[in-house]
Structure 1
Amino acid sequence: MNFVLAAGGTGGHMIPAHALAAELKKRGHGVLLITDQRGARFPGLFEGVPVHILPAGRLGGGPLGWLRAGRSVLAGRREARMLYRDHRPDAVIGFGGYPAVPSLLAATAMRIPTVLHEQNAVLGRANRFLAGDAVAIGTAYTQVERLKKRLEDKVILVGNPVRDEIARLGEQPFPAFDEYAPFKILVTGGSQGATVLSKVVPEGLGMLDPSLRHRLQVVQQCRPNDIDEVRGRYALLGIPAELMTYIEDMPSKIAEAHLVIARSGASTVAELTAAGRPAILIPYPSATDDHQTANARDITQAGGARTIIEEQFTPDVLARQIEVMAKDPQALANAAARSLSVGRPHAAEDLADLMERVGGGLSPIEVGPSLTPRVKATAPTGGVPA
């Protein structure tokens, strides 16, 4: 079969799309990616996959901004229709983000079946707009906010696809950790970094009990404007730290980590739970519909993470939370097991199964029952040749 994957240009959309593309290619299917300029520049993703960049508007800027966005979406829709006439896909899947909208609208107009994948625990704006025409909606969480009740028969719980290298980490033992071993911490703010982590984390690590602080080994992602200051702060504290603006080899960094301090973006949470890594999560307070707080709910309730809202995220609070989790080596191992208990490492395979069924012409009623159990919606809160 031939499939088109349409994704907005952030890591939260691109990483699960990449994982699905790899699984579909492994099965011998043709795959094409439609994204924007940002998505096309992501390093290390979609090697060997044709990439098509479409114009896509973004709402904002008042009536003039809406008009420009509408014109851009219509232009992208025309381009997508021409693309589909040359290489008609069996199905098109959207991973959210405004750049996915023209591709899905074109598919619907040409009676090509569409699937949506929602990575977050709150249905995103683009997916809410497109959900009525979709054959199926694959979700990553058992509860999804902003999902209308009338759509629940389309919803199938598949999880959030992660790269094979990360999915396999959950099959390996948690890194050895006792009162003498190095204490390895990974700090990441998602694909764009997070300044608040650069400000708070070094100070918090410096306040740890000496039994932990003297064993620290830190890997931290920083924004380019923050990296020199953070490097200087770690040097003054005498804490070994490897700093970078983008973590390209995330699987190896997660594999080595005993604890992860991070934002609770969808891909981050999916990778932590697939690998079985305990975490301290600081949801991004400006995320649309506060979806990062919702993303952190399952892993936190399971005991695999502690969530700290940003206004309470101080060096002292961070230090105390780390000590609670790490002063007893068994407690950290237990948190790792609880993180793993809510992971879905086979999400890429399950989503590929769904795409094959939809591409094979199954109706919405036929698609769902033979796959994973359906999600119950919650009330709103607020082709390409191989």
Structure 2
Amino acid sequence: MTKIYNKITIKNPYVAVVGGGTGGHIFPAQSLCEILTRQNHNVLYITDKRGQAFHEKPKNTHMFILDLPRYRPGIMGKIAIATRTLIEITYVTWKFMLSRPSLVIGFGGYPSFPPLFAALILGIPYMLHEQNAYAGRVTRWLAPWAQSITTIFRFTKGLREKDRKKIVQTGNPIRDTIKQVWKKSPYKPPHKTIHLFAVGGSQGARIFSTTLTKAIIKLPKELQKRLQITQQCRPEHIKKAQECYKKAGLKVNLAPFFKDMAAEYKKAHLVISRAGASTVTELTAVGRPALLIPLPTAMDDHQMHNALTLSEKKASWYMRQSDVTPESLAKKIEEILKSPKDLEKTAENLHNLKMEDADKALTEAVEAVLNKTHRVKK
């Protein structure tokens, strides 16, 4: 088992921030850690091995890694997760007894369950941050005992009425560079060159490496000539995609990961992406129109709920992955790009859904809970 504190002794009082699994849970948790440490709080960041791999430890925080297996379908996978989760609950409970946090803040995903459940057992106050339009399982299960539930959407679904009274809409904390995109470069529809930005999320996506490439090749030649494509591809698919695009004479930038997302968003006239929480938050902030292809295996189908919510507000387009073929995707892209006015209006609708100063709103919600329970001294 990975040792939780890694021989680090954290000073009391402290706040524990929990985020693991996928980028939608990890990135906002890391952002909050850095915000709280800037305000002189002692912070313990709890994540799993995937969270550790995504990014280096947030600055000035202590950290421990939960030893949890990745989700696997089938009875054996469920038994493995249940067994490991029980072990981790026991271990975290023991550690919290030795060094009791003043507050535990969970960002969803099943890796957040052991620390939150340990907090519930020990009577430690906790709050939940829900990034999706439909509340995830951990949020739904633990909402009755939470001090507060912060959300991105005003209309988060899946919670009982009495739990909805705990909702504080804060938005999702995002990087400063992303916040600056709209301020410095409000959306302008394409005239000649069309910048297409395709990104498959923190886990990457085969469909963005293969099917999208085939779809673009099927677009009318006149439209192809106007395209400049920046596309996320899995490393094993890059060479083949490059060959296809070179044969078609298209300008492309292919990579497994883009460090400067702000620069790519700034150029984009249309984004093609998944519909995870972090992606949706960034899209509302930068105000770039998007064609969303929700991940069908996402827990509780939360990405589809996100896509439907934006579509209902005329703030994006979406396609179910089961409906995506090179032909259908090419048709949809062509349909979207033929109307610059629709692109501009969709960008405005999307940007209007953003939350101003989510960092401040979320930290104020945290401070409110700390004041309500036991004030953390700085």
Q: How does 1:262-341 map to 2 (within 5 A)?
A: 262-341=273-352
Matched, 1:243 2:261: no
1:39 partner SS: helix
2:355 alignment partner, one of 344, 357, 382: 344
Q: Answer yes or no: is the 8 Å Cα contact 1:115–1:137 preserved in 2.
A: yes
Question: Aligned residue for 1:361?
Answer: 372
Question: Aligned residue for 2:92?
Answer: 80
TM-score (norm 2): 0.87
Q: Answer yes or no: is the 8 Å Cα contact 1:212–1:327 preserved in 2.
A: no
Deviation at 1:190, TM superposition (A): 1.0
Matched, 1:255 2:266: yes
Deviation at 1:54, TM superposition (A): 2.2
Q: Answer yes or no: is the 8 Å Cα contact 1:20–1:349 preserved in 2.
A: no
Distance 1:62 1:311 in 2: 22
Question: Aligned residue for 2:139?
Answer: 127
2:165 partner SS: helix
Moved more, 82-91 or 344-353: 82-91
Question: Aligned residue for 1:374?
Answer: none
Q: Measured at CA, do residues 83 and 171 of structure 1 come closer, stay the same or move farther in structure 2, by a change above 3 Å?
A: farther
Q: How does 1:145-294 map to 2 (within 5 A)?
A: 145-174=157-186, 176-180=188-192, 182-294=193-305
Q: Answer yes or no: is the 8 Å Cα contact 1:7–1:17 preserved in 2.
A: yes
Matched, 1:139 2:161: no
Deviation at 1:133, TM superposition (A): 2.0
Question: Aligned residue for 2:6?
Answer: none
Question: Aligned residue for 1:55?
Answer: 67
Deviation at 1:176, TM superposition (A): 4.8
Question: Aligned residue for 1:24?
Answer: 36
Moved more, 316-325 or 145-154: 316-325
Distance 1:86 1:271 in 2: 39
Matched, 1:112 2:124: yes
Deviation at 1:116, TM superposition (A): 0.8
Percent of pairs with identical residues: 36
Distance 1:212 1:80 in 2: 56
Matched, 1:39 2:51: yes
Distance 2:149 2:355 in 1: 17
Q: Measured at CA, do residues 335 and 172 of structure 1 come closer, stay the same or move farther in structure 2, by a change above 3 Å?
A: farther
Deviation at 1:42, TM superposition (A): 0.9
Question: Aligned residue for 2:7?
Answer: none
Q: Measured at CA, do residues 347 and 61 of structure 1 come closer, stay the same or move farther in structure 2, by a change above 3 Å?
A: same
1:3-55: per-residue Cα shift (whole Å, max 9, x none)? Answer: 21111221111011122223223333222210111111113662443220123
State the AA in 2 paired with 1:112.
I
Q: Measured at CA, do residues 60 and 330 of structure 1 come closer, stay the same or move farther in structure 2, by a change above 3 Å?
A: closer
Q: Answer yes or no: is the 8 Å Cα contact 1:43–1:248 preserved in 2.
A: no
2:104 alignment partner, one of 81, 92, 103: 92
Distance 1:87 1:54 in 2: 17
RMSD: 2.7
Q: Measured at CA, do residues 62 and 315 of structure 1 come closer, stay the same or move farther in structure 2, by a change above 3 Å?
A: closer
1:138 partner SS: strand
Distance 1:47 1:212 in 2: 46
Distance 1:314 1:208 in 2: 13
Q: Which runs of 5+ in 1 are unaligned?
A: 364-382
1:10 alignment partner, one of 12, 22, 34: 22
Structure with the bigger RCO (C-alpha within 8 Å, sep 6+) is: 1
Deviation at 1:327, TM superposition (A): 3.3
The count of aligned residue pairs is: 365
1:360 partner SS: helix
1:162-190: per-residue Cα shift (whole Å, max 9, x none)? Answer: 2222122232333555423x311111111
